[in-house]
Amino acid sequence: MTTTSRHIACFCETTFDAEIPERADMTEDPELEQLILDGSFMAVTCPACGKQLTPEYPFRLSGLKPWGDIVMVPEADRAAYLRGALDYVSGSPGRVVVGFPELSEKVLMAGLGRDDRVIEIMKYYLLTGSERAGTEEPAAEVRIIYRGLEAGRHVFAIMGLREGEVGVARLADELYARISADVERRVQEDPFQDFCTPPWVSLRRMTGSTT
């Protein structure tokens, strides 16, 4: 793992330097998977107040099948990425993610052997309430995060439906299989091509959500 020194500012107004991961290879550091999934990766502790902070900095993860390199773009750099103004997004990465939650999702999907395009299409159906593509526009203020597979159902956390509340949706694996069977056709059509075209495979490209 390659790290770089970053200057961190805490909410208590203390500033300090910390070593932050800049690049890592999943095949060489297999423990990274759990660190990313439990939210402790890239976390630092303020030496003054003891608060755990999770700053976002550019990060490149290699060795994650089936995508190879994944570049994490911090949420603060999202607009610059969309303008094509980020030098560190180079080398034709298999995927780009915006923010730590999307990185965690990709690691989870890879571990389960799931196609991220299919998962994003399932999110679209949850947001529109319909499996008929193009009938409704997703709500920009709602964000859905993939939480994995439990008892044959794909679990999604839904934020933004009600203030201060997180909803949970469970979709049968049979739906995943049905979408997967013709995903190559679907991703060539509207609206799926708008958010399933690499490298940034994310429904947030369509909704414009910044949450």
**Which tokens sit at 120?**
């994003």
Q: Which of 78, 112, 146 is the last residue of a domain?
A: 112
Does 147 share its domain with 62? Answer: no
pLDDT averaged per 10 residues in sequence order, the chain, 211 residues: 96 96 93 93 95 95 92 96 91 93 96 96 87 50 91 93 82 96 96 95 76 37
Q: What is the pLDDT of residue 125?
A: 93
What phi, psi does 58 have (nearest 5°)? -55, 140
Same domain, 125 and 70: no
Q: Do 107 and 142 sit in the same domain of this protein?
A: no
Query: Does 146 share its domain with 173?
Result: yes
Q: In this predicted structure, what is the pLDDT of residue 106? A: 97
pLDDT on residue 131: 52
Per the structure, the complete domain to which residue 135 belongs is given by 116-207
Measuring CA to CA, which residue among 127, 124, 145 is closest to residue 191? 124
Residue-level pLDDT at 210 = 40
Q: Are residues 125 and 168 in the same domain?
A: yes
Does 161 lie in the same domain as 85?
no
pTM of whole model > 0.85? yes
Give, for 25, the enclosing helix (H) or strand (E). Answer: strand 15-25
Work out how many domains the chain is built from and give that number. 2
Q: Long-range contacts: 80-84, Cβ < 8 Å, 24+?
A: 81/200
Where a domain ends, among 66, 90, 112?
112
pLDDT for residue 134: 47
